Structure 1
Amino acid sequence: MNKKITVIPGDGIGPEVIRSAIKVLDCIAAKFNHEFTYQYAKLGGVAIDEEGTPLPQRTIDLCKDSDGVLLGAVGGPKWDTLPGSLRPEKGLLGIRKALQLYANLRPVKAHKSLLDASTLKKEVVEGVDLLIVRELTGGLYFGQPQERRHEADGEAVVDTLYYKKSEIERIVKQAFELARLRNKKVTSVDKANVLESSRLWREVAVEVAGNYPDIELEHMLVDNAAMQLIRNPKQFDVVVTENMFGDILSDEASMLTGSLGMLPSASIGGDGPGLYEPIHGSAPDIAGKNIANPLATILSVAMMLRFSFHWIEEADAIEEAVTNVLEAGYRTGDIAEKGETILNTDEMTEKVLENIHLAITN
C-alpha cells in the first residue's frame, strides 16, 4: 500500500530526528510490503530565513496533498526578537488551523526501564499511562481581538478566549471515543469557578457523557489537575481540556517520564491528514552534534501508522522495538544515568531498526 507523507524537518535538531524517523518508515515499508512517497516542505525558522514567512503556501498545499505529515521541531532563540506574526510558532499554529487539526493527543507512558530518570519518586510514576487530549484550534491562541492598545492611561493588551459550543463538543467527543479504547475514564479539566468559557465547557462535557454510559466522567479544576499530575498521576486515563490549559498540563505531564525526548504527539481532526511530531523543542544547543534522542520522533511515526493509516501491527512493532531497546539498557544522553553507556542519535536509531527486524523475523 502506498502512502504519501509530507516531511517537515524544521529547525534545530529537527532534521536529525527526522532522518531517524525516515529510516524507521523505510524499514516498516520493507517488512510489511508498503511504499512511502516523501515530499519535503519548510515551516518555522528555516522558512522565515529562506522564504520570509513561517508558513509558505507551498507547505500548506503539500500537507493537504498527503496522507500524513511528519514534523521535526520548530523555533529557537534566533527568531525570538521577531514580531509575533513572524515567529516560527505562528507557522505551527497556522498549519494546524489550515489542516483543521482540532485535537492534540499526547500519550504519557512511564517505561519501567526509565523510572529512575524521572525526578519524582519511583512509586509515583510506576504504571503511569495517560492520554491528554488538548483542543488545538480555539481558545486564547486564536481568539480575536488579540492586540496591544494605547489608551488614555497607558498601554494595554487584550487576548480573547473564544469557543463555539460545537468546538467543545467535538473535542470532548474525541476524548470519550479514545477512552473506550483504554480504561473508560475521562477527566475534563476546566476553570469553571471563574471562567464563563469553562462553565460552558463543563455543561457540554456532561451533555456528551450522556451518550457514553460506559465511560466515567469527572470534572477537575485546572489548578487541582496540575497538582494531581504530580501527586497521583496514575488516577488519570484520558484528560481532555481547552487549548492553553492543555498546552501547560501536557508539558508538565511529560516530565513524569524523565525526558521530553521520549514523548510523541499527534494532531488530528477534520478530513485531511494528521500531523505527527515529538513534543521536545528544537534544542539548538545540541543541533548538528548527532546526540539528540530520536525516540519521540520514532514513536510519533508509530502514532501516524496507528491513527492515520490504521496499521496496528506496524505501529505495535515500532513501539515494542523502542521498549526492547530501553529494556536492554541503551540510552541517549538525556535519559542516561551515571555509568550507563550513551549512544548517539544514529546508534540509537540502529538499535531500534535491529529490534524491528528481529521482532518481525520471530
Structure 2
Amino acid sequence: MASRKLLLLPGDGIGPEAMAEVKKLIAVMNDKFGAGFETEEGLAGGCAYDAHGQAISEADMAKALAADAVLFGAVGGPKWDSVPYEVRPEAGLLRLRKEMQLFANLRPAICYPALAASSSLKQDVIEGLDILIVRELTGGVYFGEPKEIIDLGNGQKRGIDTQIYDTFEIERISGVAFELARTRKNHVTSMEKRNVMKSGVLWNEVVTQTHKAKYSDVKLDHMLADAGGMQLVRWPKQFDVIVTDNLFGDMLSDIAAMLTGSIGMLPSASLGAPDARTGSRKALYEPVHGSAPDIAGKGIANPIAMIASFAMCLRYSFNMVAEADRLEAAIASVLDEGYRTKDIMSEGCIEIGTTMMGDKLVEKFQSLLA
C-alpha cells in the first residue's frame, strides 16, 4: 500500500492536547489496520514565532506543500498580542491557505442527538441538524489590496480593506457547493450582500450562471447574508449547503457552529483544486474552535472537533469513506453513552478529560472496525 503522508501542526493553546488524541488514532490505524500513514510534525502560530521569528518557517511550509494532507490544531493567544502584525500567529494559517491554494472551506454543523438539549436554541429547532457551509477562502476582503491604515493628519486615520472577487473564484467555489449538494439533499443557498456591495452583485450573477450551465438539477436559492444569519437561528434546518464569500462565511459558520451546543464539537476542511493529472488536491483540516489559552494544559479540552477533522481528512483526502463513517459513528456512540468533556457536560452525564475522551473514541472506533 502506498504511504499516506500527513503533516501535523498542533499549534498553540489546546492544539497540542487535541492533536495528541488524533495521534492515538493514527497509531491504531497503522498498527492494527495497516493504514500506512506517515507523519511529520512542524510548528505554526505563536510557537513558530517563538522558535523562528515567523508564524511558520520556510521548512515547515515546504513540508505542508509536500504532504498529502495537513492536520492543524489552533493558533494564537495573549502571549503574542504585541508581536508585529506580519508575523502574528494567525499569519501562519493564512500563509498555509494561500500557498496551498486552499480556496474551499467546508464547515459542517451537525447536531449529535445526544447533544440536542445542549444548544441555546429549542430542541425541535436543532434536533437532526446537518448543514454544510462552503466558504470561499483565498479571496475577498481578507486578501484584497489595498489593505492599509493611512495617517490623515490632525489625529485622524483611515483603515482600508478591499473586497475583490473575480469570476473564476466564484465559479469554482459555487461548483464545489453544487457538487457536494448532489451527495446530500441537492439544495444550495448562496449568500451575499448584492443590495449594497458590487462584489455581491457579481457573486449573485456568477452563481446563477454556473447553476444554469452545469448544475440545473440542484435547487438554488439566493439570500442576503444578514438575512441568512437571522434564518440560521430561526430555522436552520431549512438549509442544506450554504455557499458564501470569505468574510460572510467566517461569520455565518461561527453562528452555525454554536447552534450545535459547543464550538468545540465541529471540524472543518480547506481544499484546493484537484490536480489535473492525479485528481488529488491539497488539503488542510482543523477544528473550528480556537486555541483556548485559558484552559490549555488543564486536561479538560474537548478533542472531538480535532478527531472529527481527521474523519474529514479520511473522507476527502484518502477516500477512506468507511473508516470516516465509523469514526463519526464512534463519536456519536460515545456521546450516547453519556461521556462528556467539561464544555458539553450536562446533568446525569459522566465528565471526563481530554485524554479519556480520546481513549473512549479510539476504543469505540476499534470495536466498530473489528
> Which category describes the TM-score, using the shorter chain as reference length?
over 0.9
Q: Once the two structures are superposed, what CA deviation does each residue of 1:285-336 show, in whole Å capped at 9, x if it has no partner?
A: 1111111101100010000010011110111111111111011111111001
SS at the partner of 2:356? helix
Distance (whole Å) between structure 2 residues aligned to residue 220 and residue 347 of structure 1: 43
- Which is further off, 95-104 or 145-154? 145-154
- What residue number does 1:303 align with? 312
C-alpha distance in 2, partners of 1:186/1:353?
35
- Give the Å deviation of 1:163: 1.1
Equivalents in 2 of 1:82, 1:296: separation in Å?
Answer: 28
Q: Which letter maps to 1:285?
A: D
The residue aligned with 2:278 is: none
Give the number of equivalent residue pairs.
Answer: 361
**Counterpart AA for 2:93:** L
- CA deviations over 1:22-63 (Å, ceiling 9, x no partner): 111222233432111111111110011110011211111001
Q: Secondary structure at the match of 1:265?
A: strand
TM-score, with structure 1 as normaliser = 0.98
Structure 1 residues 183-220: Cα deviation after superposition (integer angstroms, max 9, x where no partner): 00000000000100000000001011111121000000
In structure 1, what is the equivalent of residue 87 of structure 2? 86
Q: Deviations over 1:58-83 (max 9, x none)?
A: 11100111111001111111112223
| CA–CA distance in structure 1, aligned partners of residues 21 and 123 of structure 2 | 30
Q: How does 1:118-133 map to 2 (within 5 A)?
A: 118-133=119-134
Gaps of 5+ in 2: 276-280
Q: Give the deviation of 1:85 after TM superposition.
A: 1.1
Q: Percent identity?
A: 50
CA RMSD of aligned residues (A): 1.1
The residue type paired with residue 160 of structure 1 is: T
Name the residue aligned to 1:150. 151
Q: Mapping of 1:67-78 within 5 angstroms? A: 67-78=68-79
In the alignment, the residues of structure 1 paired with residue 32 and residue 312 of structure 2 have an alpha-carbon distance, to the nearest angstrom, of 18
Question: Higher mean Cα deviation, 78-87 or 284-293?
Answer: 78-87
**Whole-angstrom CA distance in 1 between matches of 2:321 and 2:283:** 16
Partner of 1:337: 346
- Secondary structure, aligned partner of 1:281: coil
Q: Secondary structure at the match of 2:44?
A: coil
Gaps of 5+ in 1: none
Cα contact 1:318–1:356 (8 A) shared by 2 = yes
User: Partner amino acid for 2:194?
Assistant: A
C-alpha separation between the residues in 2 aligned to 1:322 and 1:203? 40
Once the 2 structures are TM-superposed, how far is the Cα of residue 152 of structure 1 from its aligned partner? 4.8
Runs of 4+ in 1 over 4 A off after TM superposition: none
* Secondary structure in structure 2 of the residue aligned to 1:192: coil
Correspondence list, 1:182-331, <5 A: 182-210=184-212, 211-270=214-273, 271=275, 272-331=281-340
Is contact 1:11-1:46 (8 Å) kept? Answer: yes
On the 8 A contact 1:28/1:314 being kept in 2, the answer is: no
**Residue 138 (structure 1) aligns with:** 139
TM-score computed with the length of structure 2 as normaliser: 0.96
